[in-house]
A and B are shown apart, each in its own frame.
Chain A
Amino acid sequence: MSSATDETASPFRELRITEHALKKARRYARLVVDEFGSAECLGFLLAAPGSTVVDDVSLAPDQQASPQSVAVSGEAVLRAGREIEAAGKRAVGWWHSHGTFDPFHSGTDTSSATEVLVQLAASNIHRSSEELRPSLAADGAMVFERGFETLRLTLDDAAAPPVRLRLVRRLEVGFAFSLVVNARGDEPYAEVYTLCWSGGERLQRERVAVEVVRAIDEDELRRQIAERVRFTGQTEAHSRLRAFRRSSAEAS
């Protein structure tokens, strides 16, 4: 596995989490320390179906916790999966606490985060596409370049009329987040793990910022509305109202 080195590595620049979910993870961390002294705990990052905003965290069942580590058996991970399904949520990653120590990623954490990605990648897929524009080589060939990949197209028939080509590259990236908190409420640490299938399987990890969603996230609501609501009541008055709103928005 390698760390991300170019812009294709991950479509995510941050882990977005609601204030409630982050507070809940920190509270679990603090209460476990209150109960057992310095000890770690872990669980999973949950989101609504179709969303990548973490709006809840779960506490995994049957944990073996100590001051330096925490472990959840494979059976307990499966049980956690059933609980998440029953709650109508989906897991978008995992979280754990470092007790009263600084949040960061250890070798153990990286190994577990990779396994969480392997479990989630096929169901947590971020899809995007990008259009590549060609440049014209001296010999008339069209050259599409992206990173280290180059596609060169030469038309055999020089007398052919001008051709306009569009190359659209479809990207599918499986992902899982990893979040580390502590009982002191320090700045959390997060990474995103991605598995990209375009052009051969590639597993990468990258540190990301933690963005706390404090109020209602209008962008997320708009995205859900665009995905789930289709307006069928188009009228003349409605068209005029939308046009007026658009021109007002542009003017401001």
Chain B
Amino acid sequence: MKDGAAAVVDDERERRVVRLRHGIAPPLDVVLSPDEAEALAECSTVGQALELILAKPSLDPRFVANVRKTIAGPSVVVFEGRSGSEVANPRSRVDRRLVELPFEVGVSKAVRGGRR
């Protein structure tokens, strides 16, 4: 394969990356297939979009299980992409502008300290 061809493949791959961040943990890059990328664009809620990303078999099942624990309760989902950023929750409708690949999606709960 020529260098130029390899670069094209890498660019194509780069275009389908979702960076998945769970709170303060190091993020993971998830590469979607063209079909998955298309399916992502069809998701109607943030929760559905997340489930599609979490279904990738390449992800550590322990990481996936823990992300699911976080989104099961009150939590936020933050999209950061070329079109800007938005804070949502898993039940929100997807803003199609924001799921334009590549983008970063972060999932987290608030952290509180207190004497009670």
Spell out A's residues near B (CB within 8 Å): 40, 42, 44, 60, 68-75, 77-78, 80-82, 84-85, 90-91, 94, 96-98, 101, 106-109, 111-112, 115-116, 118-123, 174, 180, 197, 201
Task: Name B residues whose Cβ lies closer than 8 Å to a Cβ of A.
Answer: 21-27, 60, 62-63, 65-66, 69-70, 75-76, 78, 87, 106, 108-116
A81 to B63, CA, bound (A): 16
Residue of B69, B70, B112, B113 most packed against chain A (CB within 10 A): B113
Cβ contact within 8 Å between A115 and B115: no
CB–CB A69/B113 < 8 A = yes
The answer to whether A106 touches B114, judged by C-beta atoms less than 8 angstroms apart, is yes
Interface residue from B23, B87, B111, B115 paired with A42 (Cβ < 8 Å) = B111
Q: How far is the CB of B49 from chain A (nearest CB, A)?
A: 17
Contact A115 B76, CB 8 Å, known A69-B116, A122-B25: no
Chain A contact residues: helix, strand, loop or mixed: mixed
Residues on A with C-beta less than 8 A from B76 are: 73-75, 78
Q: Closest CB-CB distance, A214 to chain B, in whole Å?
A: 27
**Are B108 and A74 in contact, CB atoms less than 8 angstroms apart?**
yes
Q: A91-B24, A120-B25, A123-B25 are in contact. Are A69 and B63 (CB under 8 A)?
A: no
Cβ contact within 8 Å between B114 and A108? yes
Given the known inter-chain contacts A116-B23, A120-B24, A123-B25, please indicate yes or no for A77 contacting B114, CB distance below 8 A.
no
The residues of B that contact A78 with a CB separation of less than 8 Å are 21, 23, 76, 78, 106, 108
User: Whole-angstrom distance between the alpha carbons of A77 and B106 in the complex?
Assistant: 10
* 4 closest residue pairs by CB, A with B: A96-B113, A119-B23, A69-B114, A74-B76
**20 interchain pairs (CB within 8 A)?**
A42-B111, A69-B113, A71-B110, A71-B111, A71-B113, A72-B111, A74-B23, A75-B76, A78-B108, A97-B113, A101-B115, A107-B116, A112-B112, A115-B109, A119-B24, A119-B25, A121-B62, A122-B25, A122-B66, A123-B63
Q: Do A74 and B116 touch across chains, with their CB atoms under 8 A apart? A: no
